[in-house]
Amino acid sequence: MLDVSEIMTPRRSLVVISPSATVDEARRTMAAHGIRHLPVTDERGALMGLVSQTDVLVAGNGGDRALREVMVREIDTVDERSNLRHAAMLMFRRKRSCLPVLRNDELRGIITDSDFLGVAITLMEQLESVEPEAEELALHEDAAP
Beta-carbon contacts of 38 under 8 Å, excluding residues fewer than 6 positions away, are: 15, 16, 17, 26, 29, 30, 50, 51, 52
Q: How far is the C-alpha of 66 from the C-alpha of 43, rounded, in Å?
A: 15
Average pLDDT over residues 15-33: 96
Residue 49, pLDDT above cutoff 90 = yes
Share of the chain above pLDDT 90, in %: 68
Instruction: Report which of residues 105 and 48 the model is more confident about.
Output: 48
pTM of the model: 0.80
Q: Give the residue among 97, 98, 95, 101 at the shortest CA–CA distance from 83.
A: 101
Least confident among 51-55, 63-67, 113-117 = 113-117
Q: How confident is the model at residue 145 (pLDDT cuts 50, 70, 90)?
A: low
DSSP state of 133: P
What pLDDT shows up at residue 137? Answer: 62
* pLDDT tens figures, 80-118: 999 999 999 999 999 999 999 999 989 999 999 988 888
* pLDDT tens figures, 119-132: 888 888 888 887 76
Question: Side chain identity at 96, as an amino acid letter?
Answer: R
Average pLDDT over residues 23-45: 95
What pLDDT shows up at residue 62? Answer: 79
What CATH topology corresponds to 4-143? CBS-domain (3.10.580)
Each domain of the chain, given as residue ranges in start order, spans 4-143
